[in-house]
C-alpha cells in the first residue's frame, strides 16, 4: 500500500466566498480505480462579526460540479477530516462565507492510499 498527500488549497486572507481549481490527487505511477481519499481541513483563522465558512469538496462529473464531501460549518479555528469513498481523481475546494468575514485562513489536503 502506498500513500500520496496532495495540497488542494491554501487559503489566506479570504473575506468572501471562493473556490480553488481542480487538482489531481492521483500519483503518476498507477491507474486510477476510485479509491477512498481522506480530506483534511485545518482552519487557522476565521474572524469577523458572526463569521461562518462552509467548505465542500467537489468533483467534475460529465462537465458538472458535484459535491463529494462537506465539512462541518466552521465558526472559528478548527480542524476536521472526512473520507470520500470511490473518490474522483481531480478535486476542488469550494468555500462559502456567512456573516461578516474579516479573515479566513485554511489549508485543505487530500491523502490517497493506493496500490501500484
Confidence at residue 28, expressed as pLDDT on a 0 to 100 scale: 74
Query: Cell for 54?
Result: 462552509
Number of domains in the chain: 1
Confidence at residue 35, expressed as pLDDT on a 0 to 100 scale: 75
Residues 6+ apart with CB under 8 A from 38: 81, 82, 83, 110, 111
Range of the domain at 93: 2-114
Confidence at residue 40, expressed as pLDDT on a 0 to 100 scale: 98
CATH of the domain at 32: 2.60.120.1110
Burial 70-108 (b: 16+ CB within 10 A, else e): ebeebeeebeeebebeebbbbbbbbbebeeebeebbbbb
Confidence at residue 42, expressed as pLDDT on a 0 to 100 scale: 98
CA distance 6 to 70: 18
Mean pLDDT by 10 residues, the chain (116 residues): 88 96 82 78 98 96 93 98 89 97 97 76
pTM (predicted TM-score): 0.92
Beta-bridged to residue 97, according to DSSP, are 53
Amino acid at each position: 500500500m502506498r500513500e500520496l498527500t496532495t495540497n488542494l488549497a491554501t487559503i489566506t486572507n479570504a473575506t468572501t466566498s471562493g473556490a480553488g481549481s481542480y487538482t489531481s490527487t492521483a500519483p503518476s505511477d498507477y491507474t486510477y480505480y476510485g479509491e477512498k481519499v481522506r480530506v483534511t481541513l485545518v482552519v487557522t483563522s476565521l474572524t469577523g462579526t458572526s463569521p461562518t465558512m462552509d467548505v465542500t469538496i467537489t468533483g467534475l462529473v460529465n462537465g458538472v460540479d458535484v459535491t463529494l464531501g462537506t465539512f462541518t460549518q466552521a465558526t472559528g479555528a478548527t480542524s476536521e477530516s472526512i473520507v470520500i469513498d470511490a473518490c474522483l481523481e481531480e478535486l476542488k475546494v469550494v468555500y462559502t462565507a456567512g456573516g461578516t468575514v474579516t479573515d479566513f485562513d485554511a489549508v485543505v489536503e487530500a491523502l490517497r492510499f493506493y496500490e501500484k
